[in-house]
């Protein structure tokens, strides 16, 4: 049984007591998911291990069997366990930690803890330590406080925790959305519902050049010495005003859950109340084709334009092309703000899309 010496960079011991025996995925040497409990509990918790492409899903199934029956184990020190108990005491002190998902290493890394109540209800706690990760979590908290509960989870607490901040919320009890196209009707219904709720909450119609998202992108340089490519796309969209809408910012199948026939969105760290219409739609399509299908940028762009037209988002092909290119640029912009370098694979894919397609 391994000790914690291999992952000192992750303060995971503060979430589990010294009596816990944790199964690890993919291994105790490089744990991404740590699970506490019986074989059946480990099997349920192991579904949190991320995998979206077909080969990755097959590997995930193999790892889940391994974690349930022949686990690679860690034993926490438990010396900081009271930190978690203190955080939970004024909300729900009976919550027990079941699994911990360790986010991708980098400036926005977060730890996500799954907790279970006595009645079987599931909760989660997100912990952020680094400056940028804390900013993202603060933004998510702000969004969750303004969004109606019909579209996301309920926040119970947001406060300082250990050497960072933490957000505690009730989990959405739903099944994941399959990462495929065309877009499922439930997802389209969610986008429509969010737009309607945005209009009821704060309907503002302004020219495209005055839109906050557009103004940010106009000042964005994808690489040093290269000006923003947005001008010709704005010329196409300048024939009417555009509303400010609630937008998710990372709208993708892995951030959606189907609960009782209704989609709810999780992980609102990139959300905003003054978003640009239809960029979530574009992001959804491009993320699937870039990360799951590994489609070429030009093929993905053509498909996105056709989906915008066939789903009635716009009747103008030029407008659909402009929205697709702006969506790619906005994704590039958000990733760059997280410290992603221009030569990263997804960033190069996005840039190829707008340079080739427009």
**For the chain, how many helices (H) and strands (E)?**
11, 15
State mean pLDDT over 79-84. Answer: 63
pLDDT in tens, 284-326: 999 999 999 999 999 999 999 999 999 999 999 999 999 999 9
Instruction: Give residue 171's pLDDT.
Output: 92
Torsion over CA of 236, 238, 244 and 246, rounded to 10 degrees?
Answer: 0
Instruction: Give residue 24's pLDDT.
Output: 79
Instruction: Give residue 44's pLDDT.
Output: 59
State mean pLDDT over 86-115. Answer: 90
Share of the chain above pLDDT 70, in %: 84
Q: Are residues 196 and 150 in the same domain?
A: no
Given 170, 203, 238, which residue is the final one in a domain? 170
Which has more confidence, 289 or 30? 289
As a 3-state breakdown, the chain gives helix, strand, coil percent values, each rounded to 5, of 45, 20, 35
Which has more confidence, 101 or 284? 284
Given 170, 195, 217, which residue is the final one in a domain? 170
Domain count, the chain: 2
pLDDT in tens, 179-199: 999 999 999 999 999 988 888
State mean pLDDT over 250-263. Answer: 93
Q: Are residues 316 and 220 in the same domain?
A: yes
List the beta bridge partners of residue 25: 33
Q: Are residues 153 and 258 in the same domain?
A: no
Given 120, 155, 170, which residue is the final one in a domain? 170
Q: Is the pLDDT of residue 53 over 80?
A: no
* pLDDT, averaged across the chain: 86
Q: Which residues span the domain enclosing 107?
A: 4-170
Q: Is the pLDDT of residue 116 over 70?
A: yes
Q: Are residues 248 and 353 in the same domain?
A: yes
Q: Are residues 64 and 148 in the same domain?
A: yes
Among all chains, which residue has been given the structure tokens 């010396």?
A: 79
Instruction: Give residue 19's pLDDT.
Output: 73
Instruction: Give residue 68's pLDDT.
Output: 58
Q: Are residues 138 and 244 in the same domain?
A: no
Instruction: Give residue 51's pLDDT.
Output: 56
Q: Are residues 33 and 99 in the same domain?
A: yes
State mean pLDDT over 207-230. Answer: 94
Q: Which CATH number is 190's domain given? A: 3.90.1200
Which pair of tokens denotes residue 182?
């065309």
Q: Is the pLDDT of residue 3 over 60?
A: no
Q: Are residues 120 and 214 in the same domain?
A: no
Specify the DSSP element, H or E, that contains 187: helix 185-202
Q: Is the pLDDT of residue 70 over 70?
A: no
Alpha-carbon distance 341 to 324, whole Å?
22
Neighbours of 117 (CB within 10 A): 13
Instruction: Give residue 1's pLDDT.
Output: 41
């Amino acid at each position: 049984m391994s000790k914690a010496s291999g992952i000192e960079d992750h303060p995971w011991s503060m979430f589990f007591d010294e009596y816990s025996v944790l199964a690890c995925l993919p291994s105790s040497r490089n744990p991404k998911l740590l699970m506490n409990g019986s074989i059946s509990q480990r099997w349920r918790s192991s579904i949190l291990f991320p995998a979206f492409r077909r080969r990755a899903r097959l590997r995930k199934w193999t790892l889940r069997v391994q974690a349930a029956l022949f686990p690679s184990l860690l034993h926490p020190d438990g010396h900081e366990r009271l930190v978690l108990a203190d955080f939970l005491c004024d909300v729900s002190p009976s919550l027990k930690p079941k699994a911990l998902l360790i986010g991708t290493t980098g400036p926005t890394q977060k730890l996500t803890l799954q907790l279970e109540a006595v009645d079987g209800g599931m909760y989660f706690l997100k912990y952020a330590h680094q400056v940028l990760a804390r900013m993202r979590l603060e933004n998510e908290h702000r969004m969750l406080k303004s969004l109606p509960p019909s579209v996301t989870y309920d926040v119970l607490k947001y406060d300082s925790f250990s050497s960072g901040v933490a957000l505690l919320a009730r989990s959405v009890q739903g099944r994941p959305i399959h990462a495929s196209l065309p877009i499922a009707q439930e997802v389209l219904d969610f986008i429509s519902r969010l737009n309607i709720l945005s209009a009821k909450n704060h309907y503002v119609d302004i020219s495209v050049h005055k839109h906050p998202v557009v103004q940010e992108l106009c000042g964005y340089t994808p690489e040093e010495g290269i000006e923003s490519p947005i001008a010709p796309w704005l010329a196409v969209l300048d024939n009417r005003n555009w509303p400010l809408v609630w937008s998710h910012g990372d709208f993708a199948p892995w951030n959606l859950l189907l609960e009782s026939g209704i989609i709810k969105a999780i992980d609102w760290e990139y959300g905003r109340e003054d978003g640009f219409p239809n960029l979530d739609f574009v992001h959804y399509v491009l993320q699937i084709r870039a990360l799951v299908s590994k489609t070429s940028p030009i093929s993905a762009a053509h498909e996105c334009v056709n989906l915008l037209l066939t789903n009635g988002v716009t009747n103008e092909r030029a407008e659909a092309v402009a929205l697709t290119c702006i969506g790619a640029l906005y994704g590039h912009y958000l990733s760059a703000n997280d410290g992603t370098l221009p030569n990263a694979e997804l960033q190069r894919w996005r840039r190829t899309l707008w340079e080739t397609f427009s």
